[in-house]
Each structure stands twice: as C-alpha cells, then as structure tokens.
Structure 1
Amino acid sequence: MDLATVLLLHKSSFIVGAICFSYVRWRSREPGLDLLAVGCCLLAVASTLAGMGEQGSIAVVLWTFGSFSVGVTGYSLMAMGLLRLSCRQRKWSDWILVAAALILSAIVGGMHWYEYNPARAAIFNAAAAAFLTTSGTRIVKDFFADRLPARLGLLASLSAATAFSALVVVGMIFPDHAPIEPRYAFFLLIICHFSLALFVVVLVQERAESQLRHLANTDALTGIPNRQRFLASLPGAPRNGDAFIMIDIDHFKSVNDLYGHETGDVVLVGVAQAIAAIAGKGMSLGRLGGEEFALFLGNQTEETAFAKAEEVRRAVKALVFSAGTTVISPGVSVGVALWKGAGDLQKLRDQADQALYCAKRGGRDRVQLYVHSPLLTSPGPTDSQTAGCLR
C-alpha cells in the first residue's frame, strides 16, 4: 500500500472519530467527548499537512514541524478526553498532558529534530504511545467503579494502538531488526483509531442504558430500590432461614398533616437511609410504597431476624428532625416472619404483614415476630395480649 493511501486512511479515521464524538457529545452530557472531537480534528489536520508535505505542495518546515506539533497536541487532547470520559470528572490537573505535548514540541523545534524523518516519526509515535498508555491506565482503574463491557473493548483498542505505535518507534530506530515494517504497523494503527471511536460511542450508550435501568429500579425520593426492584431481587422459592421484615413509619400521616409534605419527605428519606445503613449489602431492601419498607434476608434464625429488626427500630428511634421549633422523633412498627418450610414467598410476606399489623395494634414502635404461639415482641404488650393477632 502506497504512502498516499495510508495517509488518506489515517486522516479519514480521525475525521470519522471527530464526527462520532461531536454527535455523541451533542446527544449526551458525558465529559471529555468535546476534547476527543477536538483532538481528532487536530490529528486530521496534522495528517493533512503530512500528506501535502509528501506531495511537495507546502514548505518543508510547515509540514514537518507543523504536523508534529499539531499531531502531538491532538493526541494529548484525546488522552485528556478519555481521562474525563472514564472518571466522568473535569480536573485541571488533566491539562498537564497538553502542557507536556507543548513542551515536547518546543524541544523538538528547538533541537531541529523534526528535520530528520526517522527521529520525528519515532518521537511522535513514542509520545502517542505514552498518551495512550495514560488513558488505558485510567480506563483500568475506573473499571471497578463503572463495570461496563465497553470498557474492555476500549482498553483493547488503546492497548493495540499503543503496541502498534511502539512498533513504529522500533521500526524507525532499528529498521533492520523491526518485527514488522513501520508502514504496516501504521496501517494497523489506523484500524485501532476506528475501533477506539466505536467503543467510545458504545461506552456512552451503555452508560445511558445503565442510568435508565437505575432510574427505573430506584425510588426517586429516597434513593433506595423501589417495589419493582425489590420484588425482582427475591429468590424464586423460599429456603430455610429466609426472613421477611416489613417496616412501617408510625403516625406518618400526622407528620404530613401537621408539618407539611416537605418535612414528611425529609423524615421519609432519613428513615430510608437509616434502614439502608443497617441493611448493608447482605440483604434486599425496598420501599414498597408510601411509608412502608421491606427487608429480605437469608440464613437467619428467629432470634437473629428479630435482632436485625430490633436494630432497625432502634436506629430509626435515634433519628431527630426539626420542624421549626418542634422536634420530630419518628418510630417504626416492624413485622418479622421466618420461613418454616410451608408456603411460598407471598405467604411469607403475608405473615410479615400480619406481624406488622400486630405490632401496630400492640402500641407501635415495636418489633413483632410471626409465630403460631406465642409471639415474640419488643417492646410493648405481653405475649398474651398480642398472640391473638395471628390466629
């Protein structure tokens, strides 16, 4: 393949990338896409200058030093854009990459290294490999916080581009010992540019879909899983040790009536966060509606399930909210049911509901365990006063 064709494909890969990044940036608010688009535009300009220089249509200094400085700056902006896209943050420290590109350009210009083609190509591709490596490192680091499959494709594209850039460097410095001719490595690098643009677009799309799933499964007010997500998280059939805990805020309607719905929302969010802190990652949590919440946990005994429910009750009881000069200290009634080897999850939930009803009837601000006889409660009436609730 002749050099003119390779340069045309090289320029085309960056033009396609700039168009893709600009369009996706227009459709989304993901940070870094604008820098990726600008970086691709600069690299397309650098490739154009190189092509014109090969044809002899512009001054030698303009295409040699111009293509180098513009191209290195373009790669630094692309790396900066990938950093911001990966972590979804804009940091002033990212501009160090651009500063490094400008300093390198000044050194190459001052030393006149751009006049020697192998040296210019080797330094340019070494800088590109360094910028790509920086981006790939951040992609790996942020994978644990944002586990999207497109990150793997993006990382593979960056790794391949880094490897081919390094091969170009080796070919320029050691032409007789290079494992692959620089022009072939350069051509494969062009394919990586297309792949890079593809996986950036896919990453943005996967993030949008992930956000939609999160919104669909999360209660908008409290930020915890909603009824749909909670029910979907339950196992297909109950097992020994499975426990259902139903939680209801006591006298919540009175809070709304006396202090307004804004205060009621503050109380609701505070209670939800307190329950979520107790739940942790070892159990399913959800807001079923209104002021009612539910917990589902496995490998429990009556004592441990009751203790967990009591921990929730105490945590909520410790909350204090202010409404003007008034202090609101909410309480919750809690019903607990443990699967005994009969019935399905719906029956287990019904039993927890019945226990919750008993807790409310028994004085509220208490935990009630569903048993056939007698009932374990805390604190409140004696077992004999509440045992009839579940008959």
Structure 2
Amino acid sequence: MLGELDLATVILMQKCSYIVGLLSFIYLKITNRGLRGPSVLAAGFAAMTIGSTLAGYGEWGIVSPALWQFGSVVFGIAGYALIWLGLKTLSDERSPGGRTVFFVGMVTLAAIVLAQQVADNNAYRAALFNSCAALAYLAGAAGLLAGWRREPLLSRLALAAITGVSGLISLSVMKSMLFPAYATINLVNAFFFIIMLNFAIALFVMMLVAERSERKLLVLANTDPLTGVKNRRFFFQTMPATPDPADAAMLLDIDHFKSINDRFGHAVGDSVLQEVAKRIGGSIRGGDILARYGGEEFIIFLPGAGVQKACMIGERIRDAVAVTEVDCGGLRVGVTISIGVAATGDRRCDLQTLAEMADRALYRAKTEGRNCVREALAA
C-alpha cells in the first residue's frame, strides 16, 4: 500500500502534518500564555511547512529546480533547529541559554552553507536534510528522557519515544541516501512514518502540557501557599487512616504567635511561620510527613517512630527553632515552639484520634511552661 504512493502525494501529506502541528502549537500558546516552548515549536513547524511546500512545488514543476532544491533544505534545516530548541524549552520549562542558542545558530549556518554546495545533488541534499532531522529529534529525545526523574510524566516518556523513533528513521534514510547498496528503508515509506510521527509529536506535546498542568494544580491543592509544606487536607487524605502501633503523630504550636503579629505585624508573622516550617522540615527524617495544621500549628506523621524516638525528634525540632532568632528583614524575633507527641500503641486508633491525642499532649506542653515536648498520657 505504501509503495503505491507517489512522492508528490507523500510530500503533500507531510505538509498537512506540519500545518496540524503548527496550529496545535499556536493554540497551546494562545491558551497558555506563560508556557514556554510552543511558540518555538510553531516557528519550527512553520519553517517545515514552507520547506515541504517548496519541495512539492518542485515535484509538480511549479518552481525552478534551483529555488526548491536549495529553499526546501534551508527551511528544513532551520525548522529542525527550531524544533529541537522548542522541545528543549518545553522539557526544561525555561528558555535555552545564550550559549545554546549561539551554538545551534552556528551549526544551522554551517549546514546551510553545506546545503548550498550539495543542493543540486538529490542524494547529498536528502542526506543532509535527514541528518539534521536525526540530530534534532535524537537530541530532543535525550533531553526529554534526562528530565524524567525531575518530572516523571508518562506523556514525557511517550514524547521522548516518538521523537527518538523519528530520529532513528531519519538516520536510516540518511544512510540509505549515502549508501544505496545498504538501504534499510524505502524513501516513501520513511516519509509516511515520519508523517504519522509528526501528528503524534503534536498530540503528545499537548498531552504533556495538559498532564503537567494537572500535576501543578494537584500540588497547589495539597500545598500550603505560605510555608510551602503540605496542607491539612493532604495530611488526612494521604496518611494511613488506621496507623500502625509504632506510628506516631506530633502536633506543634508556635508559642505566643498572636503577640508576634500584634507587636510586629502580620508580615513579620508570615516570615516567622516560613522560617519555623523550614527549620522543622530540616529536623525530621526523610519519611516523615510535615503539614500545616492551621494558623500557627503544624502536624507531623512519623511512621514507625514510636513515642520515644518521636520525642527525640521533637526535642531536635524544639532546639532548632529556639536556638537562633528569626531574621525578619533586619528585625530579629525570638521564637519557641511547644510540641505534643502521641503514638497509637496497642489502642489501634484512627488517624483523627491520634491527632487528638497529640493535641492533648500539646495542651500539656503549653500549660507546663511552653518550649517543651510532652507525650500523650496513657488512657
């Protein structure tokens, strides 16, 4: 079936795939104004659209060979450079540095100069075009995979696979052009597969943007905007509803926080909350979960800690908070914290009950002088 398609028809289909990609990226940019990457990808696909249009006009005899042979490969080289920059920008969520842009510009310029020398040789021209495609797509796939640990999204992995396959096909075409005796893929078939992959790239770029937005909304929904730690909603939805006997909870309250707000203002109070949250986070174990409970209160879930270890961690937190005054823009504020600790033990209570036990222990800490750690009394 594929072998029955003539090259001019395949070039027309290829142009359609670039136009679809171009419109998709323009739509992404319009609907996500702060999003980086789609505008560069749109420019790349626009250049590819012009290049494939010139190639099609050449096949149909509408323009002179000199114009379409050189013009199509120049727009193709520029297009693939922009596509790689767009993929990198989208993956990194930031614009590439000046050195990167300069390097890509120099490589693109060198490829265009080389294209001028080989424009009238179909094999060399096609080999140069596909080598640029292979370089852009394989580099794009590598960048997407490199960011997997930072952002483990399935759409990122899928987009990396698609661009990687596109690069490998382009590499195979380049080899077939330079060494026809060792050709491994039919040119028309290769064009057809790349057309399908162009549609897939546009689709999975949109999916990556959607999945990334969904993930950011989830993070916002689960994070306290002032302190950056998890919020109460996340804590009670995510922690075990029925903790194990050795699991512990810790409720922490900043001492005399209302007087800090009254004396120095709410801006200073916010700075104190942020710094205390930072010090608490730096004093707990890797698997412990810290959340803002409300107002000046924080809660920590300590899996497997038990009461004794939880009290030791509480003392470490108390000392970290009290040892150094909080610097609030030149104003130094002394801060202490009271802590209540509870573990389920043999009672096997639910998470809400465990938090209430820690709250009663916190009340003891406050009534017994503040700036101390107290554990829940046996029922």
TM interval, shorter chain, is over 0.9
Partner of 1:284: 289
| Greater RCO structure (CA 8 Å; 6+ sep) | 2
User: Over residues 285-326 of structure 1, what are the superposed CA-to-partner deviations in whole Å (9 max), with x where a residue is unaligned?
Assistant: 100110000001112233211100111111111231356886
Note closer, same or farther for the CA distance 1:273–1:324 as it changes in structure 2 (3 Å cut).
closer
Q: Is 1:102 the counterpart of 2:109 in the alignment? A: yes
Which of residues 267, 277, 285 is equivalent to 2:272?
A: 267
Which of residues 107, 113, 116 is equivalent to 2:118?
A: 113
Q: Is 1:33 the counterpart of 2:41 in the alignment? A: no
Quote how far apart the aligned CAs of 1:335 are. Answer: 0.2
Note closer, same or farther for the CA distance 1:75–1:282 as it changes in structure 2 (3 Å cut).
same
Quote how far apart the aligned CAs of 1:15 are. Answer: 0.7
Note closer, same or farther for the CA distance 1:326–1:131 as it changes in structure 2 (3 Å cut).
closer
- Select between 294-303 and 14-23 the one with higher mean Cα deviation: 294-303
Q: Is 1:353 the counterpart of 2:347 in the alignment? A: no
Structure 1 unmatched runs, 5+: 373-390
Which of residues 312, 335, 341 is equivalent to 2:340?
A: 335
Structural mapping, 1:311-322, within 5 Å? 311-322=316-327
Note closer, same or farther for the CA distance 1:69–1:334 as it changes in structure 2 (3 Å cut).
same
Residues 69 and 102, structure 1, Cα contact 8 Å, conserved in 2: no
Partner of 1:242: 247
Structural mapping, 1:124-163, within 5 Å? 124-163=129-168
Partner of 1:375: none
Partner of 2:371: 365
Q: Is 1:229 the counterpart of 2:234 in the alignment? A: yes
Quote how far apart the aligned CAs of 1:144 are. Answer: 0.7
Structural mapping, 1:291-302, within 5 Å? 291-302=296-307
Residues 236 and 351, structure 2, Cα contact 8 Å, conserved in 1: no
Give 3-state SS (helix, strand or coil) of 2:230's partner: coil
Query: How many angstroms apart in 1 are the aligned matches of 2:106 and 2:376?
Result: 68
Structural mapping, 1:66-105, within 5 Å? 66-90=71-95, 91-95=97-101, 96-105=103-112
Residues 333 and 364, structure 1, Cα contact 8 Å, conserved in 2: yes
Which of residues 170, 195, 211 is equivalent to 2:216?
A: 211
Note closer, same or farther for the CA distance 1:17–1:348 as it changes in structure 2 (3 Å cut).
same
Note closer, same or farther for the CA distance 1:132–1:257 as it changes in structure 2 (3 Å cut).
same
Q: Give the root-mean-square deviation of aligned CA atoms.
A: 1.5
User: Over residues 215-238 of structure 1, what are the superposed CA-to-partner deviations in whole Å (9 max), with x where a residue is unaligned?
Assistant: 111101111101101112211311
Quote how far apart the aligned CAs of 1:197 are. Answer: 0.7
Residues 138 and 168, structure 2, Cα contact 8 Å, conserved in 1: no
Quote how far apart the aligned CAs of 1:81 are. Answer: 0.7
Residues 18 and 46, structure 2, Cα contact 8 Å, conserved in 1: yes
Residues 24 and 201, structure 1, Cα contact 8 Å, conserved in 2: yes
Amino acid of the residue matched to residue 373 of structure 2? V
- Select between 228-237 and 5-14 the one with higher mean Cα deviation: 228-237
Q: Give the number of aligned pairs.
A: 371
Residues 81 and 108, structure 2, Cα contact 8 Å, conserved in 1: yes
Query: How many angstroms apart in 2 are the aligned matches of 1:146 and 1:280?
Result: 23
Query: How many angstroms apart in 2 are the aligned matches of 1:22 and 1:190?
Result: 19
Residues 271 and 328, structure 2, Cα contact 8 Å, conserved in 1: no
Structural mapping, 1:176-191, within 5 Å? 176-191=181-196
Query: How many angstroms apart in 2 are the aligned matches of 1:105 and 1:119?
Result: 13
Q: Is 1:24 the counterpart of 2:28 in the alignment? A: yes
Residues 227 and 287, structure 1, Cα contact 8 Å, conserved in 2: yes
User: Over residues 63-85 of structure 1, what are the superposed CA-to-partner deviations in whole Å (9 max), with x where a residue is unaligned?
Assistant: 10111111111000000010011
Query: How many angstroms apart in 1 are the aligned matches of 2:329 and 2:156?
Result: 49
Q: Is 1:14 the counterpart of 2:28 in the alignment? A: no
Q: Indicate the percent of aligned positions where both proteins have the same amino acid.
A: 38
User: Over residues 97-119 of structure 1, what are the superposed CA-to-partner deviations in whole Å (9 max), with x where a residue is unaligned?
Assistant: 2321121111221xx21111011
Residues 122 and 173, structure 1, Cα contact 8 Å, conserved in 2: yes
Quote how far apart the aligned CAs of 1:267 are. Answer: 0.5
Q: TM-score by structure 2 length?
A: 0.95
Amino acid of the residue matched to residue 92 of structure 1? G
Quote how far apart the aligned CAs of 1:270 are. Answer: 0.7
Query: How many angstroms apart in 2 are the aligned matches of 1:146 and 1:129?
Result: 25
